[in-house]
Amino acid sequence: MTRATWASLPRDLSTAVEARLGAPVAGAADQTGGFSPGVAARLTLTDGRRAFVKAVSPAQNPDSPHIHRAEARIAADLPRDVPAPRLLHSFEQDGWVVLAFEDVPGRHPVHPWDAEELRRVMVALGDLAVRLTPGPVAAPPAAERLAGSFGCWAELAAERNAGRDDLRGLDPWAAAHLEDLAALESGWPQALAGDTLAHGDLRADNILLTPDGRVVFVDWPWACTSTAWFDLLCMLPSIVMQGGPDPEGLFTDHPPARDADPAAVDAALAALTGMFLVHARRPAPPGLPTLRAFQRAQGEAALSWLRTRLSPTLRT
């Protein structure tokens, strides 16, 4: 993926950013991580202050401006004691959606995952679930937020049955158990009902480890109300694909997940796995050429975990 750069922004737009920040930009360090084609830059202002700015227009990707708007709404309402960057400004100009945050000094976790860094993140994630229960921000329930993303096994089975999809490229076990997976995922809306505000898209590139020992969670456009264990469930496939340990052990040892209903976890995990693997077979969205490979890798990790949780008659 090639992100737009700070230098590539229209001059009128960068001037508008400077006006809102209250000083000219002395330097910009473009950030390359994540899956947005828009600008992401750490700015140093002439008065020594710093800010992190994100900007995107439909020219990079037609859906990305909507995602930035959703992030602005959530970020503006997050309580100040939530470990997330503070939103300084958000505005729209000439089709661009611009967000300016405090610049949090820190770095993403290394991968392969370091055991101590993973421990820090797991503790922080548990604390976050406690802090965000009940959810302090108005956000859609998971059943609404994920209605267009989950339920993919059933959609794929319907396409196969109609003769419009030969399942080419799908994992052979998943292809052989497609109807079972569709049935298993069907309970995901009920499984994910809860009053915790979930981040909804946690991965290493949405986490910052600061020099003073904090763990900060960034990029909140997919926030929704769900179960206290939903964020961990979503994050574990990426942890595994980036060299982390057994997902089942991490899940069952996590305080918010210890009392989770196994059937609810299976339904949610099946739906998550289907989203990754079915979407990975689709053409890449505009401006996001690496997304499908990343989804496939997460899907393969999720499927392997799911199979260990199923009854012996379904595992083979």
Among 80-84, 290-294, 297-301, whose mean pLDDT is lowest? Answer: 290-294
State the pLDDT confidence band at 66, using cuts at 50, 70 and 90. Answer: very high
β 207-209/215-217 pair status = antiparallel
Residue pointed to by tokens 């990079």: 60
Note whether 103 and 52 are within 8 A (CB): yes
In the structure, what pLDDT confidence band is assigned to residue 316 with cuts at 50, 70 and 90? low
* DSSP letter string, 228-247: TTHHHHHHHHHHHHTT---H
| Three-state secondary-structure class, residue 308 | helix
First to last CA, the chain: 37
C-alpha span between 279 and 296 (Å, rounded): 8
Asked if the model's pLDDT at residue 60 lies above 80, the reply is yes
- Residue 74: partners with Cβ closer than 8 Å, 6 or more residues away: 137, 139, 220, 221, 223
Helix axes 262-280, 152-161, angle to 10 degrees: 60
pLDDT in tens, 210-264: 999 999 999 999 999 999 999 999 999 999 999 999 999 999 999 999 999 999 9
Confidence check: pLDDT of 1 > 60: no
Whole-angstrom distance, CA of residue 266 vs CA of residue 78 = 30
Mean pLDDT score, 279-283: 96
- What's the pLDDT at 229? 98
pLDDT digits (tens, 9 = 90+) for 189-209: 999 999 999 999 999 999 999
pLDDT at 315: 67
Given pLDDT bands bounded at 50, 70 and 90, which one contains residue 313?
low
Give me the mean pLDDT over the 35-48 stretch: 92
What does the pLDDT average to over 302-311? Answer: 94
Residues 222, 6: Cα–Cα separation, whole Å: 25
